[in-house]
Amino acid sequence: MRRWRIFSPLRVAALLMVYGTCAGAGALYAIVGELDADLPRDLRVALDYRPPQATIVFAADGEPIGQFFLEQRYPVDLDRVPRHVQQAFVSAEDRRFWEHQGFDAAGIARAAWANFRGHGITQGASTITQQVMRMLMLGREKTYYRKARELILAWRVERELSKRDILEIYLNHVYLGAGAYGVQAAAKVYFGKDVGALSVAEAAMLAGLPQSPSRYSPVRDFAAAKARQRYVLDRMVADGALTRRAADAAYDEPLGIVTDAAPLNAEVAPYFVEHVRRWAVDRYGDRSVLLGGLRIHTTLDSRKQRAAEAAVREGLEAAAAWIGFRGPIGHVDGAALAAFIEGPPRPAGGDGPAVDARGHLLRHTAYVGAVVDVRDGWRARVDVDVGPVAGRLRRDDARAALRWRSDRGDRLRIGDLVAVKLAAGSDPAAGEVEWALEQPPDVQGALVAIDPATGRIEAMVGGYDYRTSQFNRAVQARRQVGSSIKPFIYAAALAAGYTHLSIVLDAPVAVPTPTGVWRPKNFKREYRGPITLRTALAESVNTVSVRLVQAVGADAVVDVMRRLGIRSRFPIHPSIALGTPDVSLLEMTAAYAALPAGGLRVDPRFVDVVTTAEGVVLEDHRAERPHDRALSPQLAYLVTDLMRGVVRRGTARRARELRRPAAGKTGTSSEFRDAWFIGFTPDAVAGVWVGRDDFTPIAHNATGGRLALPIWLRYMQAAEAGRPIREFSPPEDILFVRASERTGRPAPPGAPDAALVPMLRGTIPEAFLAAVEPAAFRPPPPAP
């Protein structure tokens, strides 16, 4: 009886439980051991957190102007993340983060029951530690195997890293939508600010995103984002991180969500930033640029860049207005016209608001208007209705519109649609509406500005609108330079023994070539006989340039261009005298920069310093200065003074409005395909090109002085504002004689065309030797 009791059911059950538990524990130990076997041994090495970082491009003043990345991420130390931001994420994602050992057993049980009922993995219980393991080491696959490994790693990492370390990794790595990884990137993307400036309301909005960045995006679905924000705030209250009153105040706080911010690369200097990107990829490779977090500090002057952008935009719009009305953008008749007039105003761009909150037209918005009446003649008038708002074109615009003819001979008529803006002084509320024609330029332009003392590129604009064309015409385009080549020709002539007062014949010239006789002509088809070099360059006389090239040789001119840094390849031909070589604007501007640099070749540069994200300097060009001599200081000064004549009395007279010493040269290629002006002061050089991408003519009389010079002047007036006025200083061995600029002979003081003319010591004609005025004793002439 006693032996039978030894095997009683109760004892058997107990033994089975003990054996089963031991077997289960052994099996679990074996499974855990197998799962753990292929996991990293040293988690500190595995978690050496070096996430992909964006490369950031800075202007010279430290303003960020561009960024290159695969993942938009800006890692920050936890100390820079406000406490309420940390708490918002902890409350939303892992309220027991500070207490658990890597995983939350209660949460796992709750999720397991939900998954059992759902017949699959429908819910997780991932702590912040587990999420870090998933993000950095395991991926997002939903399997029990991956989940088990995640638990093991979370438990181990809690013994390797502090809670603060884990939270810092999480806040820098978590994906928060819109391409933003980490709280710093998300703060910039959604609120346009640094993470340190986030309010409680903004922090709660961001903390609601990790579960579903798309569903809870405040940009895509603000109502859903607000509901999620409320959830986070309630959790913070439950956790004691906020009072109910503070949570309610945060929920009611207006949020300035950034919904239409332009990418940083497109804001300040898009063409320049893309130029930097190409250089960086070529130098460091795609991986370093997109993932390595380089810090590229450039030479760009933000203030001057904004002046350049405005100058090109306004100059090309003015050029489009000068070229004339290009025709209607559409036509409506009958019932369609009536519906158009009775309907609401329509923006010409097709999107954006048409009226303000009071229903009034917007001052700077372009609208589609319908022509409702046309009256030709000396009292030209064109009536245009923008929806129910009636008005008329400005008189000049009406005349331009009425002059228009299509290729088929069509003229402006009732029902034609035109783009218009409210003209200055118009008051729709008072019933007085005058429209200004609005048409985007169909010509392109570019501008480059360089500091001649350092070679630093201070501004670069490669076209009218980067959004519609990324082709950088300042760097990538090679265009005929026209008469802007002439300073190089005159430099070669002066080097060969000519002086400012040398007489050259301005008369028709015939040049034999292998393909026949070339007969170049002056722009105005006028000839004045013997003239001085000073007059010839000031008025851009073609025949004199041709004769100078014949005298010194085209090779000598090309040699000057090469010494000044022009590397573009082009055929050497007598027509070089009129600027047939195709050269980039950057090359031409840098070549001109050698003149105020005293004859030193200026190699343009756009990067000052490149560092790693940690501040390790990879290259530093800040101390670099022009040092290779291209021209003697005396020759550089003589050419500069010749070019000052272009501004004082020649084809660039409008540049006198700068009201400081300036020199430069206009250029116009054959059939008005290209318009140039490159000019400089002692401290700054800027070059401008205007033309069409398809190489067709711009318009009749579209010269460099008419189209490019106004852009240059707009830029220089803004860029040089406030800079002390300096004179071009003559170097040693430059002496001055008083001479007639017309005849080249000595002139008494007060003669109408008398001027102090610089001459190199040893080249002064005997007739002037009694009247030599050393530069050291010459008072600076007044600024033009």
Active-site annotation, residues? 93, 483
323 phi and psi, to 5 degrees?
Answer: -60, -35
Sign of the CA dihedral with 650 first, then 654, 657, and 662 last: negative
Three-class SS state of 495: helix
Query: Computed over its alpha carbons, how large is the radius of gyration of the chain?
Result: 37
570 phi and psi, to 5 degrees?
Answer: -160, 155
Q: Which residues contact 361 (CB under 8 A, 6 or more apart)?
A: 345, 354, 355, 367, 386, 389, 422, 428
Q: Which of 448, 324, 462, 343 is nearest to 398 (CA)?
A: 324
Structure tokens that stand for 605 in this block: 């540069």
Are the beta carbons of 176 and 213 closer than 8 angstroms?
yes
DSSP code of 776?
G
Are the beta carbons of 674 and 477 closer than 8 angstroms?
no
* CA distance linking residue 506 with residue 42, whole number of Å: 85
* CA distance linking residue 581 with residue 571, whole number of Å: 7
Tell me how many degrees the CA angle 560-563-568 measures, rounded to the nearest 5: 90
Q: Which residues contact 201 (CB under 8 A, 6 or more apart)?
A: 229, 250, 251, 253, 255
Containing H/E element for 60? none
420 phi and psi, to 5 degrees?
Answer: -140, 160
Tell me how many degrees the CA angle 630-719-438 measures, rounded to the nearest 5: 115
Question: Where are the alpha helices (H) located in 324-425, listed in sequence order?
Answer: 334-342, 395-403
Torsion, CA 694, CA 699, CA 700, CA 704, rounded to 10: -80
* CA distance linking residue 224 with residue 457, whole number of Å: 48
* CA distance linking residue 86 with residue 203, whole number of Å: 8
Query: Inter-axis angle of helices 163-173 and 144-160, to 10 degrees?
Result: 130
Q: Which residues contact 309 (CB under 8 A, 6 or more apart)?
A: 269, 461
